[in-house]
Structure 1
Amino acid sequence: MPVLATRLSGGPSAEPEPRGPVIARLAAEFLTLPLDAVGRCVADVWACAEHMGLDVTPEIVERVAREHLLGVMNSTPPTRTKART
C-alpha cells in the first residue's frame, strides 16, 4: 500500500511547517507511542484532508489525528485461545 506522506517538512523554500506544534502536542499526550508514529499519523491525516479538498487547519488535523491515536492506544490484539485436540 503506498504511503500517503513520506516527509514531515518541505525544502528550504517551503512555508514554515505548521505540523511541528501539532506533532509536539500529540507526542506529549501519547508518550507510549514512538515519535515517528505520531509524526506519520499527523502527516497522513494532513495529506488525506488535502486530498479530499478540505480546508486543512492544524486544529482539524490535531483533532482527527488524536482520535486515530486514541484508537491505536485503546486497541488490544485478540486473545489467543488454545485449540482443543
Structure 2
Amino acid sequence: MPALTDHPRATHDALARLSEEFAIFPTEAVRRCVTDVHACMTHLGIDASPDQVERMAREHLLGMLKSEPPSGRTRASGGDGGH
C-alpha cells in the first residue's frame, strides 16, 4: 500500500485545499485528519490514492463541522467564569 510520503506534492496540495476550505479548524487538526484517513484506508485494504484520501478527509471534516451545536462549541474549562 502506498504511504502519504509516496505522493508528497499531492498530499501537500490536498492539505492546502482542505485547510483553506475548513479554516475553522487548526491546520494541525486537518493534517491529523488526513493522516488518520490514510491509515484507516490502508488498514482496511482500500486504495488510499491521494484523491480518495482527500475526499474521505473532506467528509470527516464536514461531519465535524456539522456536528457543532448551533450555539457553538462549549469550553471545557467552564466557559466565561460564571457570568
2:17 pairs with one of 8, 12, 25: 25
Task: Give the 3-state SS of the residue equivalent to 1:55 in structure 2.
Answer: coil
Q: How many residues align?
A: 67
Output the aligned Cα RMSD.
2.1
1:56 pairs with one of 31, 42, 48: 48
Distance in 2 between residues matched to 1:68 and 1:16, nearest whole Å: 21
- Max Rg structure: 1
Bigger mean CA offset, 32-41 vs 51-60: 51-60
2:28 pairs with one of 28, 36, 41: 36
Structure-2-length-normalised TM-score:
0.70
* Structure 2 residue ranges without an equivalent (≥5): 72-83
Change (3 A) 1:25 1:49: same
Identity of aligned residues (%): 48
* Structure 1 residue ranges without an equivalent (≥5): 1-8, 80-85
Moved over 3 A (4+): none
Structure-1-length-normalised TM-score:
0.68
Q: Which has the higher helix share?
A: 2
For 1:56, the aligned partner's letter is A
